[in-house]
Chain A
Amino acid sequence: MSSTAVPSPRLDAAFDLDAALHRIAHWLPAQGPIKDFVHHNTLHAFQGMPFHDGVSAAARLYGARAAMPPAFFLEAYRAGRIADAALDRALAAAFADEGARAEARAKLVDGRLEEPRFPGRARQGLRATWTRRLGGVALHRRSHLQLFRLLGGYLDQGLSTWSMPGADRMGFYECVAHLVRVSRLPLVPFETPGARALMALPAREALVGALARTVGREEGYEPYLLETLLTLPGWAGLVGECERNPWQLLTPRRMELLDLAAVTLVAELGHLERELGTGFAPLGLVASSDEATAPPDEPPVRGEAERLLSVWQEAFEWSYYAPFLGGVRANAARTPLPRPATTAWAVFCIDDRSCSARRHLEEVAPGVATFGTAGFFGLDFFYRGVDDAIAGKHCPAPVTPRHLIVEEYDLLHQKKAARPLPWWRRRLTLEQHSNTFLRGWVLSYALGLSAAARLFANVFRPSLAPVTVPPLSTVNHDARFKLLRDGDERSPEGLLLGYSSEELADRVASVLRSIGADRAFPPLVVLFGHGASSVNNPYFAAYNCGACSGRVGAPNARAFAKAANRPEVRAALRARGVDIPASTLFVGAVYDTTRDEAMYFDLDRMSERFHGALEDFRRQCAAAAARNAAERCRRFESVPLPVPPERALSEVRLRSMSLFEPRPEYNHATNASCVVGRRALTEGLFLDRRTFLSSYEPSRDPGGTILAGILAAVIPVCAGINLEYLFSRIDPRVYGAGSKLPHNVNGLLGVCNGVEGDLLTGLPTQMTEIHDPVRLLVIVEQSPEVALRAAAASPSVFEFVENEWIRYGCLDPASNEVWTYRGGAMVKVDGLTPPAFAWPTSLDAARQGRDNLPVGFVGRRAAVPAGEARP
């Protein structure tokens, strides 16, 4: 090793590394391993700013679009999807002056608007300017492949056959340093003298040393570091997430952003030395004029084009909001038709996909009343199924549960659990044995022809056989879980093993009360958790229940039903004023949103007198599911229309089993609104699967405390979903994951493009392509004062509302007037008109082509004669 000029690190200097890393971590995407895909606001870091400012600031930081391109809005305008009235309204809000308004309008409508482009800080910041001066040494291009391989090798959750030596004992930096130090072969690019010398130091010193050597000026350290990490946002974000929540990793690793930063900077130093020799002058010292280095905390100065695009965006949104609000208001005003005796209640998740499932169920079975509540059913727990290695979180992302539910086989099925899968039931084609020298030799002979047969079979007749594996944390029929805790049992991690009956009663009562279903119980109450089954889809978690952190809601539904059926819990409930008669049975179930089928749990344990009612319900539900499939099919371009329910059902089931189907379903695409209120507001209204529906009884909640509780669960989940879709749609390359087709699974942690791509964040275009980018409109059924108070009860919820990352409004049940939140207060909305469309059944509505449909009356309550009105 030569004694070249590696400056001794100065830790006592003014530069505060920890604080800098903390600030930098804030700007990195917060996306965990893909198995726990949880929808969240992509631009969470900017939520402290008003929406349009935040999006603009983010666009400047990441080099993304700040809005859909002008051509998109122009086309929507020309196709009538942006109403003139909505455009006028948006212009009026943006420009006080009449002349300016007319001018802006002309600019928008003539198509003279130039799309603003932002290269992003990684491409046009200090770092880019400095490295460009070296003659185009694209540092990240050189260092990324090796860096990603090391990162992937270190964090790998079971994909590669050889793990990095020492990964189980050491942190990432330490592990790489160990490789550099101990290995007798050079690890490019750490073999240069400067890099090697730094790798001999601890991470912190190495990082500061590398910064000193590369940048040279202390005021440049933090922006340089930020820009460096922004060249690999996917990995850097994942590392930050692993640092915050290490439990997300199945194979535990000690990973910190500091490690990543140190390895990256030293690697780049190595490349600089390889390229320029060891004697190069620090980049920051040669600089003459610098690009902006201001942290992205302040709202940027937005250009005219950006402001006009915001106007387009507002107009586009209002074009959806106005008919929606008009529809809900008109529907609420109608006197309800007399309904037959209630035979059952069906409680669904608030998910927008339940919106149509509930509607169809009501159409098929008028005796069934439906409710919506967040799909974890108030039971927040970690859950470990019999087939799971570690427990997964089954509640909304911001909540940290204190309870653990463990599923266990009873004595009868115990044997099955103890043994690993026999080889003939394993999918050797997906395991690594076939990749090695000798075993690969034998296996390639052995598996080749069967692989051909499987491919042939799946291409021509998809079936569940070839690669389907049951999703993680599902419920097994022949296993039981312990729900009631004896005393104060705790797991080794300190989690409570189950609930006490009092705790259960609290949760059951609060859920039933919040949805207004705490009296006059029917014989049957069915709770539907939901999940999705698909094959060949790394994004499987994003298809599951958002309120269960990307898992299947089945355990929650099952647990809730179990709890509500327990005599001791019912007794405790009675003490809380919820009297469930013995003639009422709760049934847990799971609804598969891809295959449109329902599965019911614990039927073998129920008393025989419920059989008849349950059989009826199951029949009705199956019929509704088929009609729901038919409604969904209109979105799939590859399904010819019209499609009768039976064929639709086989279509959607085929999709869920086809290896070649990148769109098993469209999940939350087109989601746009949320109604928190009685079902009467939305029953008989065709909302086109675009609305999250949460049940709420305003008359029982004059103070708004129940509402505040609902909003605390509903708004983060729904806004997270909505904003993730919104941003992935606006810029599929930066915020989204681009096309799904070339994706390559990396370390079971995420996907990337090719082998040298960064981990991809956000959603692939196949999930968002039909999504209309509008912000979520949340309407609660309450007076404006109570609604505002309930939203303001929690600061984290109110941030969404206040900064307009969602639009918030209310329908006052007393006056039937609509109010929306604008600029700090609730403002009454005038000029809403009732819907112009009506269809006799949802199926008729669904026959109207593939695009988004307008809000209209549907079903028994359709006032307009059937078939007259067509959009």
Chain B
Amino acid sequence: MIETLLVLGVAAPLALALVLGARRVESERAVARLAQGAAALSGASSLLAVGLWIAHGASPLATPPRVLFEHEGYRFAFELRLDGSSVVFLVLVQFTTGMVLRFSRFYLHREPGFRRFFAIALMFQAAMTVLTLAGNLDLMFAGWEMVGLSSFLLIAFYRERPSAVRNALKTYSVYRVADMGMLMAACLAETGSHRVLGLLLLLAAVGKSAQFPFSFWVPRAMEGPTPSSALFYGALSVHAGAYLLLRTFALWGDVTLVRICIGAVGLLTAALCSMFARVQPTIKAQVGYASVTQVGLIFVELALGLHRLALAHVVCNALLRCYQLLVSPSAVAYLLRKQASAASGGATELRFSYARLLPRRWHTALYVFAVSEGYLKEGLKLVTWSPLRTLGRLILPRQAALFAVGSIGALAAVALAPRSTAGTDRVMAWVFIALALLASGCALSSWRRPAYAMAWVSGSSLAVAAAVFAISPAHNSFAGITYALAIAILCALGFVGTAMVVPAGKRIPRYAGFSEGRPLATGLALISTLGIAGFPLLPTFVGEDLLLHDTLRESAAASAAIMGALALNGYLAVRTFAFTFLGQHRPEEAARWDGASGVFGKESWFDRWARSRVA
């Protein structure tokens, strides 16, 4: 009974999200009614389940695992676990989404994209419910991924604004890092050492909860409608990392190193972000950083083993920040009024609080440090993005040649290597992995030609599948075939969708906004993008999981590399989609780029050849 209710709590919003996403329901009233009905149904059934659970004595309850997919020792099971912390978080999730959806019903009245908003918000509700209740890490990862994608879609809600899309991508790239940690942890859940698991989970939590060194994305993510910012970055999604740690305490609680790391990260984040919050001139950035500060403290509490305190902190902080963001437009009237009445006859002096304890000459340094957000973004850019860009500059003019050489090498390896010994398989696998990474690199640098980028992404994904073929024993290649087939179809869809708006070989400006008036192409590309990014309802999700699981038994390093390639491909697909379809469409700008020479210099013979084909 409880299980049915809980499943209903997930299924109702998810089903309606899909309906709203796919069907053109024009009437605002109908959309609002349906969405609220689904949300209410989800909330009511969840609360009823909680009530029953309490009536049954409130002892931890796990539903019998329902195996959705099983293969050669890999098992994807739907199992829910109800205990004190998940019940509290579930109630929080249902309450805030319910409130915010009702709030949004009026707030978003007449907004273009009303239906889209509710579809995504319902998807988020389902995802959060899954994440809350999941009884295993695989299932939790499904919710985790959907939270990330719905986040991306809502930050980029105003898709004609480049800054919104840019920041959505920024957030998604951090989420992708978190996904890597989470996915790896899910694969290792049964076999891995607690130390490794703990650190992986920490990586996942740090990205999702915007802890050090990723904190900078939270204020930048405040681009969507206020209720969505409140729901995601005030209330729920920013606390998902903390909840993950709370939930998996049994996996890492016994390793002191992990606890020290979690505590240190939390403390550092709290110290830094409280400082950043103080200098932000915009209200949403201030509340965002304040929220992250408190999440940092929650990490500290978790590291100390103070579960109840941490859980209470999660609930209170989520509710407070959500409310603060929802009423943030009131700040002007309230603060002006307060200043006036507090001083009665003169504006208040702005304080420079505890910094007064420091010598004067440090004030400026402290201020500069806080205003620069601790150089977090700069630093991360230096270690991650800049090398990639350099690589891209190297690759772009020679991408075809490089890839041809790589492919020939791979073919040679396949043809020449004797079939029997495991060692050569591993060599072959590495060749394919290198090929996959190379193709990802090409995709990275060829964003100006979106159709090519899609082709590169599919090439990379197929190479990953090939690597799995090579590495796992021949009879076990089911995963590879499933994945390869799914990804090939999805990539083809993506290529077609992209090529429908931008013929292959033509260049686009960044954030070209081709979704304007092209629903079919956009829909195809979006489905393909979601698939490549591993959206839980599409076969690639299980495929990814399975691939990693298969290879992990053979080689941890190869598995890590494959996961890197998968995560990168997911990000690249989303990025290509964003660059091509989101943003404001300006025909004159598009015309300027079409056929012009690119950022990185000369075009290659391959480009010329491709252009001649197009012409």
Binding site for B on A (CB under 8 A): 34-35, 117, 119, 123-124, 135-136, 146, 148-153, 155-165, 167-168, 178-179, 182-188, 250-252, 386-390, 417-418, 420-421, 426-427, 429-432, 434-437, 440-441, 443-449, 451-452, 454-456, 459-460, 466-467, 469-472, 535-538, 540, 637-638, 658-663, 738-739, 741-748, 751-757, 766, 769
Q: Are B329 and A538 in contact (CB under 8 A)?
A: yes
Given A421-B341, A430-B327, A659-B103 in contact, is the A747-B316 Cβ separation under 8 Å? no
Q: Are B335 and A159 in contact (CB under 8 A)?
A: yes
Given A160-B278, A742-B226 in contact, is the A430-B334 Cβ separation under 8 Å? yes
State in angstroms the CA–CA spacing of A460 and B329 once bound together: 20
Q: Which residues of A are found within 8 Å of B278, using beta-carbon distances?
A: 160-162, 432, 435-436
Closest A-B pairs by Cβ, 8 of them: A448-B316, A152-B281, A163-B350, A451-B323, A435-B290, A389-B340, A741-B225, A437-B274
Q: Are B286 and A387 in contact (CB under 8 A)?
A: no
State in angstroms the CA–CA spacing of A863 and B317 once bound together: 65
Contact of B342 among A124, A421, A436, A447 (CB under 8 A): A421
State in angstroms the CA–CA spacing of A252 and B350 once bound together: 11
Q: Which residues of B are found within 8 Å of A766, using beta-carbon distances?
A: 110
B247 at the interface (CB under 8 A from A): no
Across the interface, name the chain A residue whose C-beta is closest to B584: A733
Contact of A739 among B158, B339, B355 (CB under 8 A): B158
Across the interface, name the chain A residue whose C-beta is closest to B587: A117
Type the 1/0 row for B312-327, where 1 means its CB is closer than 8 Å to any CB of A.
1101111111111011
State in angstroms the CA–CA spacing of A757 and B167 once bound together: 12
Q: Are B337 and A430 in contact (CB under 8 A)?
A: no
State in angstroms the CA–CA spacing of A34 and B335 once bound together: 13
Q: Are A389 and B347 in contact (CB under 8 A)?
A: yes
Q: Which residues of B are found within 8 Å of A161, using beta-carbon distances?
A: 277-279, 350-351, 353
Give the shortest distance, in Å, between B280 (CB) and chain A (any CB): 6
Q: Are B163 and A757 in contact (CB under 8 A)?
A: yes
Which residues, 321 to 375 on B, are CB-close (under 8 Å) to A? 321-324, 326-353, 355, 361, 363-365, 367-372, 375
B294 at the interface (CB under 8 A from A): yes
Q: Which residues of A are found within 8 Å of B510, using beta-carbon distances?
A: 136
Known A160-B350, A444-B294, A742-B158; further 17 A-B contacts with Cβ < 8 A? A152-B281, A155-B281, A157-B336, A157-B347, A163-B351, A165-B363, A186-B372, A417-B344, A420-B342, A435-B274, A445-B312, A658-B106, A742-B229, A745-B331, A747-B282, A754-B164, A756-B167
Give the shortest distance, in Å, between B272 (CB) and chain A (any CB): 10
Q: Are A158 and B336 in contact (CB under 8 A)?
A: yes
State in angstroms the CA–CA spacing of A182 and B510 once bound together: 38
Give the shortest distance, in Å, between A413 (CB) and chain B (any CB): 13
Q: Are B361 and A182 in contact (CB under 8 A)?
A: yes
Q: Which residues of A are found within 8 Å of B394, using beta-carbon distances?
A: none
State in angstroms the CA–CA spacing of A756 and B373 once bound together: 14
Give the shortest distance, in Å, between B91 (CB) and chain A (any CB): 11
Q: Are A162 and B367 in contact (CB under 8 A)?
A: yes
Q: Are A162 and B287 in contact (CB under 8 A)?
A: no
Q: Are B283 and A179 in contact (CB under 8 A)?
A: no
Which residues, 41 to 72 on B, are CB-close (under 8 Å) to A? none
Given A429-B327, A445-B312, A467-B330 in contact, is the A742-B223 Cβ separation under 8 Å? yes
Identify which of B105, B274, B346, B348 gathers the most chain A CB atoms within 10 Å of its CB: B274
Given A35-B332, A250-B347, A418-B344 in contact, is the A119-B367 Cβ separation under 8 Å? no
Q: Which residues of B are found within 8 Å of A187, using beta-carbon distances?
A: 368, 371-372
Q: Which residues of A are found within 8 Å of B19, using beta-carbon distances?
A: none
Chain A to chain B contacts (Cβ below 8 Å), 26 pairs: A150-B371, A152-B282, A153-B281, A158-B335, A165-B367, A185-B369, A187-B371, A250-B347, A387-B340, A421-B341, A437-B271, A441-B297, A448-B315, A448-B319, A454-B323, A472-B340, A537-B330, A540-B332, A659-B103, A741-B111, A742-B225, A744-B283, A745-B331, A748-B336, A754-B167, A755-B220
Q: Are A162 and B589 in contact (CB under 8 A)?
A: no
Q: Which residues of A are found within 8 Å of B95, using beta-carbon distances?
A: 452
State in angstroms the CA–CA spacing of A573 and B526 once bound together: 75
Q: Are B337 and A387 in contact (CB under 8 A)?
A: yes
Across the interface, name the chain B residue whose C-beta is closest to A436: B274
Q: Are B326 and A455 in contact (CB under 8 A)?
A: yes
Q: Which residues of B are found within 8 Å of A742, using beta-carbon distances?
A: 157-158, 164, 222-226, 229
Which residues, 63 to 114 on B, are CB-close (under 8 Å) to A? 95, 99, 102-111
Give the shortest distance, in Å, between A747 (CB) and chain B (any CB): 4
Q: Which residues of A are found within 8 Å of B286, using beta-carbon distances?
A: 159-160, 432, 435
Identify which of A35, A151, A165 gathers the most chain B CB atoms within 10 Å of its CB: A165
State in angstroms the CA–CA spacing of A135 and B389 once bound together: 14
Q: Are A743 and B370 in contact (CB under 8 A)?
A: no
State in angstroms the CA–CA spacing of A721 and B270 once bound together: 47
State in angstroms the CA–CA spacing of A739 and B588 once bound together: 25
Q: Which residues of A are found within 8 Å of B167, using beta-carbon distances?
A: 754, 756
Give the shortest distance, in Å, between A756 (CB) and chain B (any CB): 6
Which residues, 468 to 502 on B, are CB-close (under 8 Å) to A? none
State in angstroms the CA–CA spacing of A156 and B345 once bound together: 19
Contact of B283 among A155, A159, A167 (CB under 8 A): A159
State in angstroms the CA–CA spacing of A740 and B111 once bound together: 10
State in angstroms the CA–CA spacing of A237 and B331 once bound together: 22
Give the shortest distance, in Å, between A497 (CB) and chain B (any CB): 15
Q: Are B371 and A429 in contact (CB under 8 A)?
A: no
B159 at the interface (CB under 8 A from A): no
Majority-rule SS of B interface residues: helix
Q: Are B333 and A469 in contact (CB under 8 A)?
A: yes
B293 at the interface (CB under 8 A from A): yes
Q: Which residues of A are found within 8 Å of B294, using beta-carbon distances?
A: 440-441, 444
Identify which of A150, A452, A466 gathers the most chain B CB atoms within 10 Å of its CB: A452
Identify which of B102, B278, B281, B344 gathers the most chain A CB atoms within 10 Å of its CB: B281
Q: Which residues of B are found within 8 Å of A165, using beta-carbon distances?
A: 352, 363-364, 367
Q: Which residues of A are found within 8 Å of B271, using beta-carbon distances?
A: 437
B441 at the interface (CB under 8 A from A): no
B599 at the interface (CB under 8 A from A): yes
B506 at the interface (CB under 8 A from A): no
Across the interface, name the chain A residue whose C-beta is closest to B592: A132
Across the interface, name the chain B residue whose C-beta is closest to A754: B223
Give the shortest distance, in Å, between B203 (CB) and chain A (any CB): 25
Q: Are A748 and B335 in contact (CB under 8 A)?
A: yes
B118 at the interface (CB under 8 A from A): no
Q: Which residues of B are found within 8 Å of A159, using beta-carbon distances?
A: 281-283, 286, 331, 335
B428 at the interface (CB under 8 A from A): no
Q: Are B111 and A739 in contact (CB under 8 A)?
A: yes
Across the interface, name the chain A residue whose C-beta is closest to B92: A452
Q: Are A756 and B220 in contact (CB under 8 A)?
A: yes
B611 at the interface (CB under 8 A from A): no
Q: Are A437 and B270 in contact (CB under 8 A)?
A: yes
Type the 1/0 row for B235-271, where 1 means its CB is closer than 8 Å to any CB of A.
0000000000000000000000000000000000011
Given A537-B329, A755-B222 in contact, is the A472-B350 Cβ separation under 8 Å? no
Contact of A741 among B108, B219, B280, B368 (CB under 8 A): B108
Q: Are B282 and A455 in contact (CB under 8 A)?
A: no
Contact of B336 among A168, A184, A472, A757 (CB under 8 A): A472
Give the shortest distance, in Å, between B294 (CB) and chain A (any CB): 5
Q: Are B350 and A162 in contact (CB under 8 A)?
A: yes
Q: Which residues of B are found within 8 Å of A451, using beta-carbon distances?
A: 319-320, 322-324
Give the shortest distance, in Å, between B117 (CB) and chain A (any CB): 9
Q: Are B326 and A456 in contact (CB under 8 A)?
A: no
Q: Which residues of A are found within 8 Å of B587, using beta-carbon distances?
A: 117
Q: Which residues of A are found within 8 Å of B586, using beta-carbon distances?
A: 117, 119
Q: Are B347 and A536 in contact (CB under 8 A)?
A: no
State in angstroms the CA–CA spacing of A149 and B104 once bound together: 29
Across the interface, name the chain A residue whose C-beta is closest to B600: A135
Identify which of B220, B284, B312, B588 gathers the most chain A CB atoms within 10 Å of its CB: B284
Q: Which residues of B are found within 8 Å of A150, using beta-carbon distances?
A: 371
State in angstroms the CA–CA spacing of A797 and B164 once bound together: 42
Q: Are B158 and A538 in contact (CB under 8 A)?
A: no
State in angstroms the CA–CA spacing of A119 and B589 once bound together: 9
State in angstroms the CA–CA spacing of A380 and B102 once bound together: 45
